[in-house]
Structure formats: structure tokens, C-alpha cells
């Protein structure tokens, strides 16, 4: 998909203002890539697979926390929960956290992925349990609607319980995402009063 001339001019003209938002050796790289991904419909295009959406979301999230998060601290990736039913997740909740966590690991951060690893991937991730306890948690919520779904990602400082970075986005509900978002039925025992 080609970028129109008008979109290109808007993207280029925004870059000088964004240089203060991110610190590091390549301040424009993540922000420009994230803006470009959004302008090209990465989150709205059902043809774009979930891995690409997770990577773009991780780049957005990283552009928001910048140097506030040290690469020496551990980030624990946790499954996203249903917004209306806290504590309940689905394969989609784990898949999004795993994908975003993998991208953050690619960017040089220490990410614990054991809690979100797909069964086939359990042995692939290094065991960071011998390391000090995690400083940050990658977690959030999702809500599935009739034609799309909302995702809310948080990076939380576990010492202060403060949200260091947040990124909210909407994705078209493709067949793949709809299948992954189905939760397994649970039986709850309710005590009579």
C-alpha cells in the first residue's frame, strides 16, 4: 500500500516535534515507524496478521516509555484480561502479550515470557526466575465488540504501581482474532445467602 503525498508530508513535518518524546540513539526510528504503521492501517487492516500488529503496538509503547525503563530491569509479560470480566483471559490475551513482549526483547529489554508462552513455545524462552524479581509488568485489557476490538496495554512499575506507559488501539475483528478471543467456559460456585 503506497503512502499518499499528503500523508507523507504530514508524517515528515511531525518528526521534529517528536524528537523530545523519545530518547536514545535513534529518536525518530520508533516514533516514525509507529506513526507510519498507524497511518497505513496496521491496526485496522484485517489482512495484516497479529504478529505485525503486536510489533507495531510494542514500538508505540516503547516510544512512550523511552529511557524511563532501563534495559537491565525485568519486564514480566502477563496475559491481557477481558475488560468486563477481570481475571478471565483467552489465547488472544496471551498471544498479544507474548508478541509485544517478544518485540520488546528484540529491542534489548529483559522480558519474562513464561506466563504468556504458547504451549509450543514454553521451552524457547530463557528462565529469568533466578534473576531479581521483575520491576515492570506488561499487562492490560481487551474487549471484543461486534466488528472490532479494543486493546489497552499498560507497562506498570511494580514498585510504585504507577503506569509508566499506556497504549490503546482498536483492531478489526478478523477471523483469526475472533477465534483466539473465545474463552473456555468456567463453572463458578455461588453460595446462597
90-120 tens-digit pLDDT: 888 899 999 999 999 999 999 988 888 776 6
For residue 127, pLDDT over 80 is answered with no
Highest mean pLDDT among 16-25, 105-114, 118-127: 105-114
Contact between residue 168 and residue 181 where contact means Cβ atoms under 8 Å apart: no
Contact between residue 34 and residue 43 where contact means Cβ atoms under 8 Å apart: no
Q: Which pLDDT belongs to residue 128?
A: 56
Contact between residue 40 and residue 52 where contact means Cβ atoms under 8 Å apart: no
Distance CA 67, CA 20 (A): 12
Confidence class of residue 9 from pLDDT cuts 50, 70 and 90?
Answer: low
Distance CA 61, CA 55 (A): 10
CA 109 to chain centre: 14
Please state which CATH class domain 5-180 belongs to: alpha beta
Q: Which pLDDT belongs to residue 97?
A: 93
Amino acid at each position: 500500500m503506497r503512502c499518499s503525498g499528503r500523508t507523507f508530508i504530514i508524517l515528515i513535518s511531525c518528526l521534529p516535534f517528536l524528537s523530545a518524546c523519545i530518547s536514545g540513539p535513534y529518536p525518530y526510528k520508533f516514533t516514525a515507524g509507529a506513526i507510519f504503521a498507524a497511518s497505513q492501517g496496521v491496526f485496522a487492516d484485517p489482512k495484516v496478521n497479529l504478529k505485525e500488529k503486536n510489533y507495531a503496538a510494542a514500538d508505540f509503547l516503547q516510544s512512550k516509555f523511552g529511557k524511563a525503563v532501563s534495559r537491565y530491569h525485568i519486564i514480566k509479560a502477563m496475559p491481557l484480561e477481558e475488560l468486563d470480566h477481570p481475571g478471565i483471559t483467552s489465547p488472544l490475551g496471551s498471544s498479544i502479550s507474548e508478541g509485544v513482549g517478544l518485540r520488546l526483547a528484540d529491542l534489548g529489554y529483559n522480558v519474562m515470557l513464561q506466563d504468556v508462552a504458547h504451549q509450543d513455545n514454553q521451552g524457547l524462552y530463557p528462565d529469568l526466575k533466578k534473576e531479581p524479581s521483575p520491576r515492570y509488568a506488561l499487562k492490560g485489557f481487551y474487549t471484543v465488540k461486534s466488528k472490532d476490538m479494543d486493546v489497552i496495554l499498560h507497562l506498570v512499575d511494580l514498585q510504585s504501581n504507577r503506569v509508566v506507559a499506556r497504549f490503546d488501539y482498536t483492531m478489526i475483528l478478523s477471523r483469526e482474532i475472533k477465534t483466539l478471543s473465545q474463552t473456555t467456559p468456567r463453572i463458578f460456585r455461588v453460595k446462597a445467602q
